[in-house]
Structure 1
Amino acid sequence: MTPASPLPTRELTVRACTDPVEWDGLVNAHGGHPLQLWGWGQLKAAHHWQTERVVVVDGDRRLGGAQILYRALPWPLKSLAYLSRGPVCEQQDAPVVLDAVARHVSRTRGSVALVAEPDWDAGSAGEQGLAAAGFVHTDGTILIPRTLILDLTQSEDDLMAAMSRTTRANVRKNLKGDLEFRKVASEAELEQVLAIYRETAERAGFGIHEDRYYRDIWRYLGEDSPIVAAFDGGEVVAFVWIARSAGTAFELYGGVNAAGQKARANYGVKWAAFTAMKADGCTRYDLNGLLNDGISDFKKQFAQHEDLLTGTWERPLSPLYPVYARGMPLARRVLQEGRKAAKTVLRQAKGAAGRARQLVRR
Structure 2
Amino acid sequence: MGLPSVESSMEESHYTYQKFEGEAEEWNALVLRYPGAGLIQTWEFGAARTQNSPWQVERGLIIVNGYVAGAAQTIVRAMPFTRAGFAWLNRGPVGSFENVGAAFDALRRHFSVSRGLYLRIAPPFMETEASAVIRRESGLRGTDIAGWASSTIDLNNSEDAIRVNFHSKWRNALVRAERAELNVRVGSDPETFETFLRGHAAHLSLRGLGAGVDTAFLRSLQEFLPPERKLLSVTATKDGCYLGGAAFVRYGKTGEYLAGHNTEVGRKENSGQIVLWSALRQLKSDGVIRLDLGGMDEYLTPAGIFRFKNRMGGKPYRLASEMEGDAPGLINKVVRWRVRRERSRNGHEGGVAATN
- TM-score, length of structure 1 as denominator length: 0.77
Which amino acid letter does the alignment assign opposite residue 36 of structure 1? Q
Which amino acid letter does the alignment assign opposite residue 145 of structure 1? W
* Partner residue, 2:324: 314
Q: 2:245 aligns with which of 235, 239, 242?
A: 239
8 A contact 1:39–1:221 mirrored in 2: yes
Map 1:59-70 to 2 at 5 A: 59=65, 61-70=67-76
Residue 248 in structure 1 maps to residue 251 in structure 2:
no
Map 1:200-349 to 2 at 5 A: 200-205=203-208, 207=210, 211-222=215-226, 223-224=228-229, 226-232=231-237, 237-287=243-293, 288-290=295-297, 291-303=301-313, 306-318=316-328, 322-326=333-337, 329-332=340-343
Distance 1:331 1:177, change over 3 A: closer
The runs of 5 or more residues in structure 2 that have no matched partner are: 1-8
Q: d(CA) in 1 for partners of 2:188 and 2:149?
A: 32
Provide the aligned length of Structure 1 versus Structure 2. Answer: 330
Question: In the TM superposition, what is the alpha-carbon distance from 1:289 to its structure 2 partner?
Answer: 3.0
Instruction: Indicate the SS of the match to 1:243.
Output: strand
Question: In the TM superposition, what is the alpha-carbon distance from 1:45 to its structure 2 partner?
Answer: 2.0
Deviates more, 1:172-181 or 1:149-158: 172-181
Deviates more, 1:61-70 or 1:184-193: 184-193
Q: 2:159 aligns with which of 145, 152, 156?
A: 156
Q: d(CA) in 1 for partners of 2:38 and 2:18?
A: 21
Map 1:1-362 to 2 at 5 A: 7-17=10-20, 18-31=22-35, 32-48=37-53, 49-59=55-65, 61-73=67-79, 78-90=84-96, 92-106=98-112, 109-112=115-118, 114-123=119-128, 128-140=133-145, 145-175=148-178, 177-205=180-208, 207=210, 211-222=215-226, 223-224=228-229, 226-232=231-237, 237-287=243-293, 288-290=295-297, 291-303=301-313, 306-318=316-328, 322-326=333-337, 329-332=340-343
8 A contact 1:179–1:230 mirrored in 2: no
Q: d(CA) in 1 for partners of 2:202 and 2:223?
A: 22
Instruction: Indicate the SS of the match to 1:148.
Output: strand
Which amino acid letter does the alignment assign opposite residue 28 of structure 1? L
Question: In the TM superposition, what is the alpha-carbon distance from 1:67 to its structure 2 partner?
Answer: 0.4
Q: d(CA) in 2 for partners of 1:30 and 1:75?
A: 38
Instruction: Indicate the SS of the match to 2:128.
Output: coil
Q: d(CA) in 1 for partners of 2:339 and 2:156?
A: 43
Q: d(CA) in 1 for partners of 2:254 and 2:134?
A: 22
Q: d(CA) in 2 for partners of 1:289 and 1:307?
A: 9
8 A contact 2:69–2:97 mirrored in 1: no
Deviates more, 1:122-131 or 1:278-287: 122-131
Deviates more, 1:78-87 or 1:128-137: 128-137
Instruction: Indicate the SS of the match to 1:35.
Output: helix
Instruction: Indicate the SS of the match to 1:54.
Output: strand
Distance 1:260 1:336, change over 3 A: closer
Deviation string 1:28-77 (CA, Å, 9 cap, x unpaired) is 11131111000001112204210011112224532101001112347757
- TM-score, length of structure 2 as denominator length: 0.79
Instruction: Indicate the SS of the match to 1:69.
Output: strand
CA RMSD of aligned residues (A): 3.3
Larger helix share, 1 or 2: 1
Deviation string 1:217-273 (CA, Å, 9 cap, x unpaired) is 211134445233134378763222223321433322111234433421100111223
Deviates more, 1:93-102 or 1:224-233: 224-233
8 A contact 2:151–2:314 mirrored in 1: no
Which amino acid letter does the alignment assign opposite residue 260 of structure 2? G
Percent of paired sites with the same residue: 24
Question: In the TM superposition, what is the alpha-carbon distance from 1:79 to its structure 2 partner?
Answer: 1.4
The runs of 5 or more residues in structure 1 that have no matched partner are: 1-5, 342-362
Question: In the TM superposition, what is the alpha-carbon distance from 1:158 to its structure 2 partner?
Answer: 2.9
